[in-house]
Structure 1
Amino acid sequence: MDPQQPGPTPPPGPYSQPGQPASPPPSPGRYGPPTQPPPPHGRPYPQQYPPPQGQPYPPQYPPQPYPGQQYPGPYPPPYPQQYGTYPPYYREPRIVPAPPGTPYHRLGRTPKHTWWRPLLGTLLLGALAFCGTAAVVIAWSIAHRLIAGPFPEPSGVDLFPNDTENLALTLVMLAVLTPFVGLAAWLVQRRPFWSVASVLNRIRWRWLLWCCLPALGYIGLSVVTGIVVDTLFPAQDAIGTTEGEWIGWGAFVVPALVIVLLVPFQSAAEEFVFRGWLLQAVGAYGPDDPNGRARWLRILFRSPWPGIVVSSAVFVSAHGYTSWAMADIFLFAVTVGWLTVRTGGLEAAIALHVLNNLIAFLLPAAMGRGDQWDVQGDAPWTLFLADLPCLVFYAVAVSWLARRREIARLS
């Protein structure tokens, strides 16, 4: 036979058009041959691309090659309406962050948000806090008995006869709350573990160190205003910044080490609970659309102020302060809550809380009043007067520094 002459034309196959050579049947795709049973979800399998030779593209699909692998995400629009939002083989992620452009107080308003998730997360956080603190007390008591021997029956709220050990136990009991907050957000609200920390879903350590500078200014200004107030006002209204005498380095070094090592974790844990979880739990209830009936109420709940006020009130109730001391701590909580939303994270609140608590614990320990670390109660009105300009200074300084450093406020 002449090699240049065409051979006989094979008979047409099932996938050929009249007058065209036969083509082999299409290879099985992701879901097997067309004769396999229907999928369990009741939806038709997506047609393979490219279609068999001579058959047109279905009109609902985009006319582009499709090699047989699935798309990494949803079908490019338009796609069949029977598939809903995602094609049948798409698996929705378990953990979903907040959409881009979300402020800090609404990071709990993710696509998985429902009305019961913040409530259930709060109950879970309370249960974890109870079990975790109880486990710390039991483990600490066993370790104390093994190392130092038996200890007498507890008197009052103190478990051990040593004031420094009681302080260390209390600080550790509060410090273990930080991972519980992230666990509640991860398990119940289905959002990133560290989304409670900032809009970047992490602790911004460099920004935290920058916030320590205005926090040091706050401490220095507090000392100055305290001395001025004690000088100008009578003794019954004095703050009492100079009570006690120096106990010496030998008696001060051990409690100082305990305070310096544990107070940062205790203060950060309180911020994660109150300015983190509670503020975002209330902010998650703000509607996505501020329009509609009761428009002013919907706009109010979208703002951070309901969360700031509620978390500050709970923060005050968690302490034993009364009268003007209660007003002062409420002002402190509102200030750091506003800064948390303003800077998009807990770093400014943690920096101020840590340095404030360091001074509050170190000064009594240095003056021989280490047994009064857990004493909370009333305070003169001059304390509120002296602390007001200090908090204003810190808020202004951190806001200015955040603008200069271009700190992210939105996710």
Structure 2
Amino acid sequence: MTAKTVLISGAGVAGPTLAYWLARAGFRPTVVERAGGLRSSGSPVDVRGPAAEVARKMGLLSRLREAATDVTGLKFVNDRGKRVGRVTLDNAGGEDVELSRTELARILYEASQDEAEFVFHDSVTALEQDDGGVDVTFEKGAPRRFDLVVGADGLHSAVRKLAFGAETTFVEHMGVYVATLPLDGPVADPHNVVMYNSPGRAVAVHPGRGHDHGRGIAAFMYRGAAVPGFDHRDTAQHRRMLASAYAGAGWRVPELLEQVRHADDLYLDSVSRVRMPAWSAGRIVLAGDAASCVSLFGDGSTLAMTGAHTLATALTESPGDHVAAFRRYETTHRKLTAPKQRNVPVAAALLIPATRAGMTVRNLGTRLAPLVTAVQRMTTARSA
């Protein structure tokens, strides 16, 4: 019997993880990626809990640890850079790892590149399915037919749009924007994320490590209504949005905005929540952020890796019955994504207080153990 062919759109976190496990189960996965190579916001992400177990089974934990940051704390500072609060981020001897999303995507790709076909600089433009398969039209490559198609192409998923409908039907802006930018060099303190707040705004400087030569990362997070005509690929628009949102801010913000003005690798997007009544339609299914984005605050990379493994397992254990496999995958994985989606407003209140009074309460609260746990579990950046 010929191995089933599976097209996976997206080479972020979920895509390569899924390709690895499908190939090991005898499927023939093809991963198509719009970018010319691996792309990422570079934001720090966590691989924790069930995703750490997936990484262990893939033999990748040691590589993840080699690329991990040395962060042990999150420090809050005022306009003058004086510390006003700190929480300890302690793995307590577990397998959880924090590393840049760029590093995670690279490690997963290298683990799966010999197991699957990767096609970069191309994207899906049309999908036509019947009882026997899915005919796929690409922007550049010749049309091909696959047994199954998986949309692992993120918040702005092309597969979701083609198979399920317009993005506005499923994507909810959560009132926050986030931007990340690699800094010119390493930061002075390799062990602490340093965060500055003013009402409704936050800026964090995160130590870097790995293939980025240790360059630090700046993250801008601010509250704001949905911007009409927002384009997640329009860097010039993003520069204008940040300049407007952070006008008059203190600490190192003017210096960081100067780097924004000259950056060619700036990332900015809405913190959004994807809610869908179903993650599959016939032979097409969604994974990662495309199915259930919880964006900045929701363990996105952990959920992406875990969901990809769950999907691959379901397909392996239901040979010839993709409908049953998709149903089992969705039922299982929603139990993990649903609580994270509900926690988004709580996480925003912790990291981006809307008022000075809220900032004061948050800073005082850093002395309390429950907040330590809450912040540690909610500071994962966007995945997928």
- Tell me if both proteins adopt one fold, taking TM over 0.5 as the criterion: no
- With normalisation by structure 2, the TM-score equals 0.28
- With normalisation by structure 1, the TM-score equals 0.27
- Max Rg structure: 1
Structure that is richer in helix per residue: 1
